[in-house]
């Protein structure tokens, strides 16, 4: 008995010691934490960073300042995009020419760090240019958002209430909608969805919108918050809820980045014989290609990488045109899993001697508002694309994804991916090694005929290129 009580005492002591040390740790972190940080000037922020994390390394500070723009107005514009900006982060802005899309020849701007993406897009564009190019169509442009509701009362009370007040909900956003309506957009409909079988007490107001050339996130969220406020206010005075002492409450209101009703399709096709090259017979190539897509349709592990390749093309155009690549990524991947398992976003088939390859993806994009009117390079990218409408941009982006997937699968089923990848990556290795122009030339020439690996390049530079 004495032993047990002694053990309990020890446990209590250990426990109080742990709490005490946790308290001191938190106290210590609080003392170190910086306050009022966002109010500091850019220089003060950098100095704090250098003192706190970089042992006041002057080199690190000068790296930051190297990336500042000498045009103060332009720099201020970039500083103001986010909070606590300390410098600019460059990504290469490349262009992929020769994209024939619905009989219009376009050059596609791409912002991406991965060395082979623009080259692959350009190759695919050229390949299909000679075969009639890409065809793309927008299937629908409806966006959506939800007011998520907690309600634990009788379902007929909330559905009667909704039917009664629906016109007032629509009316409540009339001033917010005014400009959007002038452009042909606005709220399309509101419906009440009872999801209480999936989650106890969970209902939603599912709202659909047309936002024309705007991505529409701010518009949709403002509408949803106003609809939510009106809903809650009217519910408080609704007699049946009062009588039952059970009122619906708003959990949250937000647009959805899953936009399966904002859909675009792009396609290429040609006769199988047109796919023949000096390296491979057209029929064999087409069969290998279709098989590769079928594998991605079947096996999620392959599908993720297959779709990642598609997103190489899509994200690059999304970034160049100032759109929200996180929203697009989230929505596209959800769409890839729409049948209950994650699958390929593209489809390929051979029918009556015709090879066809297509993509269908949800894309909520904007060509007005947001960064599109602010960022000079975004404006430039949209100018290259001949100032597209949101629908035109949807088609271009879908084509960029399809082209990228075509290039990847073509390499995968023929030469393997590394040949092209390493060729493009060679320059990164040479730059890492600070090779001179003549060393670069010699090395590139040598590796035209030899397999590129990091160690082979290092070895070649150290032993031959310097000679
Ligand atoms: C690399 O960024 C993309 C690929 O892995 C895509 C694919 O495997 O289809 C080459």
Q: Which is higher by pLDDT, 444 or 177?
A: 177
Q: Which atom of ligand 1 is nearest to the CA of 302?
A: 8
- Name the catalytic one among 324, 391, 395, 442: 324
Q: What is the pLDDT of residue 28?
A: 83
What mean pLDDT is predicted for residues 104-113? 98
Task: For residue 312, give the ligand 1 atom closest to its CA.
Answer: 2
- Does 370 sit in the ligand 1 pocket, CB within 6 Å? no
pLDDT > 70: what percent of the chain?
Answer: 97
- Where does the pLDDT of residue 305 fall: very low under 50, low under 70, confident under 90, or very high at 90 and above? very high
pLDDT number for residue 461: 86
Instruction: Determine the length of the chain.
Output: 467
* pLDDT for the residue numbered 417: 77
Q: Which of 308, 333, 425, 440 is catalytic?
A: 308
Q: Enumerate the H helices of 183-250 as residue ranges.
A: 217-236, 239-244
Choose among 437, 328, 447: nearest CA to 390: 328
Is residue 114 part of the annotated active site? The answer reads: yes
Those residues with Cβ within 8 angstroms of residue 123's Cβ, 6 or more apart along the chain or in another chain: 407
What pLDDT was estimated at residue 18?
85
- pLDDT grade for 201, boundaries at 50, 70 and 90: very high
Burial of 278 (0-12, 13-18, 19+ CB in 10 A): exposed
Query: According to the model, what pLDDT value does residue 449 have?
Result: 83
State if residue 408 touches ligand 1 by the CB under 6 angstroms criterion: yes
CA of residue 403 to ligand 1 center, whole Å: 12
Judge whether 114 and 364 are in contact, CB under 8 Å.
no
Decide if pLDDT at 221 tops 80: yes
* Span 144-189, pLDDT tens digits: 999 999 999 999 999 999 999 999 999 999 999 999 999 999 999 9
Catalytic residue among 40, 114, 137, 440: 114
Strand partners, 101: 104, 134
268/132 Cα distance (integer angstroms)? 8
Query: 417 in ligand 1 pocket by Cβ < 6 Å?
Result: yes
Asked about 198 being catalytic, the answer comes back as no
- Rounded Cα–Cα distance for residues 361 and 419 (Å): 30
Give residue 462's pLDDT band: very low, low, confident or very high (50, 70, 90). Answer: confident
What distance in Å separates the CA atoms of residue 449 and residue 172, rounded to the nearest whole number? 69
pLDDT tens digits, 44-54: 999 999 999 99
Atom of ligand 1 nearest to the CA of 117: 2
Nearest alpha carbon to residue 125 among 94, 97, 95 = 97
42 closest CA partner among 78, 5, 96, 11: 78
Ligand 1 pocket, residue 312 CB under 6 Å: yes
Cβ of residue 411 lying under 6 Å from some atom of ligand 1: no
Please say if the pLDDT value at position 467 is more than 70: no
Strands (DSSP E) along 258-404, which ranges?
A: 262-271, 346-351, 354-362
Q: Has 308 been annotated as catalytic?
A: yes
Calculate how far, in angstroms, residue 422's C-alpha sits from the geometric centre of ligand 1.
Answer: 13
- Provide the 3-class DSSP secondary structure of residue 433: coil
177 as an active site residue: the answer is no
Q: Are strands 354-362 and 262-271 parallel, antiparallel or unpaired?
A: antiparallel
In the three-class reduction of DSSP (H, G, I as helix; E, B as strand; rest coil), residue 194 is classed as strand
Residue 442's H or E segment, with its range, is: helix 437-447
Q: Is the CB of 401 under 6 A from ligand 1?
A: no
Q: Is the pLDDT of residue 64 over 80?
A: yes
Task: Give, in order, the Cα–Cα distances in Å from 245 to each of 199, 204, 238, 248, 256.
Answer: 21, 20, 11, 10, 32
User: What's the token pair of residue 109?
Assistant: 């701007």
**Protein residue with least CA distance to atom 4, ligand 1:** 309
Contacts of residue 405, Cβ cutoff 8 Å, sequence gap at least 6? 306, 309, 310, 313, 345, 346, 359
> How many A from CA of 308 to the centre of ligand 1?
6
- pTM value? 0.90
- pLDDT at residue 347 in the model: 98
């Amino acid at each position: 008995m004495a032993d047990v009580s002694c053990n309990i005492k020890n446990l209590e002591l250990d426990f109080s010691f742990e709490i005490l040390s946790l308290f001191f740790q938190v106290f210590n972190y609080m003392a170190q934490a910086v306050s009022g940080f966002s109010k500091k000037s850019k220089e003060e922020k950098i100095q704090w960073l250098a003192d706190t994390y970089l042992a006041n390394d002057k080199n690190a500070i000068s790296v930051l300042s190297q990336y500042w723009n000498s045009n103060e107005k332009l720099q201020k514009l970039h500083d103001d995009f986010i909070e606590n900006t300390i410098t600019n982060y460059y990504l290469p802005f490349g262009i992929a020419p020769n994209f024939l899309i619905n009989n219009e020849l376009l050059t596609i701007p791409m912002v991406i760090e991965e060395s082979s993406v623009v080259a692959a897009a350009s190759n695919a564009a050229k390949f299909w240019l000679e075969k009639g190019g890409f065809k793309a169509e927008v299937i629908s442009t409806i966006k959506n958002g939800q007011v998520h509701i907690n309600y634990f009362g009788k379902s007929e009370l909330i559905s009667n209430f909704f039917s009664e007040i629906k016109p007032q909900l629509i009316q409540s956003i009339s001033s917010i909608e005014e400009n959007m309506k002038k452009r042909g957009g606005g709220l399309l409909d509101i419906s009440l969805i009872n999801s209480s079988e999936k989650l106890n007490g969970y209902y939603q107001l599912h709202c659909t919108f047309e936002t024309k050339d705007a991505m529409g996130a701010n518009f949709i969220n403002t509408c949803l918050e106003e609809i939510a406020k009106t809903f809650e206010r009217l519910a408080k005075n609704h007699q049946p809820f009062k009588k039952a002492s059970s009122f619906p409450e708003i959990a949250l209101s937000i647009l959805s980045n899953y936009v399966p009703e904002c859909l675009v399709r792009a396609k290429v096709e040609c006769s199988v014989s047109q796919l023949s090259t000096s390296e491979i017979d057209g029929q064999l190539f087409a069969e290998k290609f279709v098989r590769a897509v079928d594998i991605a349709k079947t096996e999620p592990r392959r599908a993720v990488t297959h779709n990642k390749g598609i997103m190489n093309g899509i994200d690059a155009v999304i970034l160049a045109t100032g759109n929200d690549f996180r929203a697009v990524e989230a929505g596209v991947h959800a769409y890839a899993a729409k049948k209950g398992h994650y699958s390929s976003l593209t489809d390929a088939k051979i029918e009556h001697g015709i090879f066809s390859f297509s993509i269908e993806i949800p894309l909520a994009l904007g060509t007005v508002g947001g960064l599109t009117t602010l960022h000079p390079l975004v404006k430039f990218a949209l100018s290259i694309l001949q100032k597209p409408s949101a629908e035109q941009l949807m088609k271009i982006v879908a084509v960029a994804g399809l082209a990228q997937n075509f290039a990847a699968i073509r390499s995968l089923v023929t030469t393997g991916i590394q040949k092209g990848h390493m060729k493009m990556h060679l320059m990164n290795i040479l730059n890492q090694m600070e090779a001179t122009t003549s060393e670069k030339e010699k090395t590139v020439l040598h590796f035209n005929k030899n397999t590129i690996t990091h160690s082979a390049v290092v070895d070649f530079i150290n032993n031959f290129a310097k000679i």
